[in-house]
Structures are given as structure tokens and as C-alpha cells.
Structure 1
Amino acid sequence: MLKRKYNGSTVSVKAINKHGQKGTKLISEAVNWILDHKKKIDGEVYVCFDDDSQKQDELLSSLKLAREHQIQIIYSKVCFEVWLLLHFQPATSLMPWLEKQWLFDSLSKELAVDHYEKLKATDLTAHYEDRIITADTNCQLLTKDQDLSSKVILDQVPYTNLNLAITKIFEIDSF
């Protein structure tokens, strides 16, 4: 959807996490992929993952390893659904944004579906496409456009930098 919307014909997406790795194992897999495809890479490499109950020291090590290899990280605390729910509503301290089940239930309600978690693998982009500006606005309110850092990981607050990554990847100033 984003490639189509922002004329991303030169943007390539590769799913390289063949074994369900997390943290530093996922970054290491990306490093190996980069080494194998050096001649074909024209631009930055991003690895997208969420907290998914990983330990803080593993997340911090992942961040360090990615920086050592000039890999950009797209990260969500607690899970990717934080970004998706921001398409519909802002994050507030009154809501349990760090609870995965609450996020799934809230998305089920917003999308008018039963059991969002059972539909995760299906194409639901039509529900989000016209709401990208809302998602960006809500994300800015949540993160204040703070780059991913060890402080973000240690603070344990809802977070996603997907909006920042999208603007860099597609070289756009705004949504």
C-alpha cells in the first residue's frame, strides 16, 4: 500500500526472518543478507521488529549491533499493532497501550471484525490507507518524533517510529 501511495517503485521489501529470530539474531541475519547482496543494495537497510516481550538487554544489544552495521531499526513497543491502532485513535495514559490483548481488542472494534488476532495475516490495508495522516499525527503526539534510542527502550512506554521510517524510506516530507 505504501509503495503504491508514495511511488515507491525503487523501494524493495524482503522478508529475511526465516527462522523467527528476535533481537540480535534478527539483526545478525540482516547483516549476513547485506554481506551476500552488497552489490545490489542502493540505499539504507531497515529491520522492522517489535518488543514482543524481549528483555531490555537484548533490545539494547540489537540497537547497538544495528548501529555498528548502519542498519536502521523500525521498532514498536509493545507490538506492531500500536502503529495500526494509531490510525484510529491517539495513545493516552488512560488506556492500557502496553497490553497486547487490549490492542487486539481495540483493533477488532475499530475494524468491526471479530478477533483481530485471527485476521492479522490477512490484507487489511483498505482499512488503514486513508488514515495514514491520522496515524502520523497520533504517532507524533505519542513519540514527539523521538528517534529510537536506549532511552526509548528503557522507558518502557508505547512507542513506534514507523512514521519516521516511512518518510525516510519514501523520501517524503509529509503524509
Structure 2
Amino acid sequence: MSRKSRNKPLSKVITIYCEGESEVAYFKMLGRKYRKLKTIHTDKVKVKSLDANGISILEEAYRQESNKGKKSEEVYVAFDRDDMRDDEVARCVKYANMRGYKILFSSISFEIWILLHFEEVGRQYTNEQLTKKLSGEKYFGTNYAKFKGNSYDKFLYDKVTDAKKNGDKLLKCNANLISDNPYTNISSEIGNIFQTEIF
């Protein structure tokens, strides 16, 4: 029987291995948000950048988990399509399934998830188009390429509800991780990671 705190079971130890610093900054923002809401023991959600992509990030996540004294109870690996072909993405899915890892995937990049905090998305963007758009006044109002990796709190903290709603809507139309673009499945997983229905 699990011990309980405030009538909730103690949360699992979860590790999110990320492709880069933008993802780390974002998931740490969510950790701060949900710590205040007391939905989860957010100290049990570990976020780490591996500075890798595709099969390389999955293999490195496995190496790090294998070398831990105590393995994570759940492992998420967050990365983008970038220039990967469909067969390379399929290989990543197969590897993650074999290890029991969950993929947090965005196509073409993580910035599609960031954009969903501001508006619905129904068309494809290149990385350059996303960076230019997010640099605009109604978004970050600064050079987003230089901003990446900094704290998102000021810009996105109170917009996670919108991102969740817009992300769920996108997933209804674009549900194929391997081939769809735009695509992101982050909206379907953040509630599980942070044990919340409040976004």
C-alpha cells in the first residue's frame, strides 16, 4: 500500500530527457506552476537536457537510466522531428516502446507547442518561420532565437490552459506522430506527468 500525503499517493519518480534547453526551461516552468498548485511532488519530476535528437537521445536516455542507482519509474523523452525522415521517426517509436519510454514529440520543432500557447495551429511551419513568428510583438516581442532556453514564466505561465486546448484540437486532426506535420503530443501527456487536470 502506498503512503499518502494530503490524501494523494506520493508521486512516481519521473525523468524527462530533453533535446535542448528550451524544453528544459519549459518543463521547469511547469514544475514551478504545479508546485504552487500542490498537484504533485514536483521535486520527483526531473528534467535533463541531453543535447541530442532522434535515436541518439533515446539511446543516451537508456544509458543514463542504466547507470542510475535507482531508475525512474517513468521516462519521457522530448525531441523534435527537425530533418528526420518518417522511417527514422518510426525507428524512434519502436525503440521507445521496447524500453517502455514515452515520447514527447513535436513536428517540426518544439516551437509548434510554444505557438499553441497563443493560438490554434493548422498549417505547417519551418523552423525559421516559427522563430520569426514567435519573435513578433504579440508573442515574445524579442529575437526568439536568442531567447530560447531562458525562463518562459513571464510569457507562458498563464497560457498553459490555451496550449492544452489548442494542442488537443490539433491532435484530433493530426494524430500520426510519424507522418503528420504540424504535430505535437505534449498536450496529451502534461496532465499525466504533473498529475493535474488544472492547466
TM-score (normalizing by structure 2): 0.75
Task: Spell out structure 1 runs of 4+ moving beyond 6 A.
Answer: none
- Residue correspondence of structure 1 range 99-118 to structure 2 within 5 A: 99-109=126-136, 110-118=138-146
1:121 maps to a residue whose letter is: G
Q: What RMSD, in angstroms, separates the aligned Cα atoms of the two structures?
A: 1.9
1:112 shift after superposition: 4.5
Residues 77-104 of structure 1 show CA distances to partners (whole Å, capped at 9, x for unaligned) of 00000011100010134xxx33222211
Asked if the contact 2:117–2:156 (Cα under 8 Å) also holds between the matched residues in 1, the reply is yes
3-state secondary structure, aligned to 2:128: helix
- Residue 192 of structure 2, aligned match among 137, 145, 168: 168
Identity of aligned residues (%): 32
3-state secondary structure, aligned to 1:73: strand
In 2, distance between residues paired with 1:4 and 1:145?
31
Residue 183 (structure 2) pairs with residue 159 (structure 1) = yes
Residues 7-44 of structure 1 show CA distances to partners (whole Å, capped at 9, x for unaligned) of 223211122x2xx432112111111111111x423420
Q: Gapped runs of 5+ residues in structure 1?
A: none
Q: How many pairs are equivalent?
A: 164
User: 1:45: which partner in 2?
Assistant: 75
- Residue correspondence of structure 1 range 30-109 to structure 2 within 5 A: 30-37=61-68, 39-93=69-123, 97-109=124-136
In 2, distance between residues paired with 1:130 and 1:145?
25
2:153 maps to a residue whose letter is: T
Distance 1:114 1:42, change over 3 A: closer
Residues 90-130 of structure 1 show CA distances to partners (whole Å, capped at 9, x for unaligned) of 0134xxx3322221122111334232112112223210000
Asked if the contact 1:50–1:78 (Cα under 8 Å) also holds between the matched residues in 2, the reply is yes
1:146 shift after superposition: 7.4
Q: Gapped runs of 5+ residues in structure 2?
A: 1-28, 36-41
Greater fraction strand = 2
In 1, distance between residues paired with 2:125 and 2:75?
28
In 2, distance between residues paired with 1:72 and 1:130?
26
Asked if the contact 2:118–2:139 (Cα under 8 Å) also holds between the matched residues in 1, the reply is no
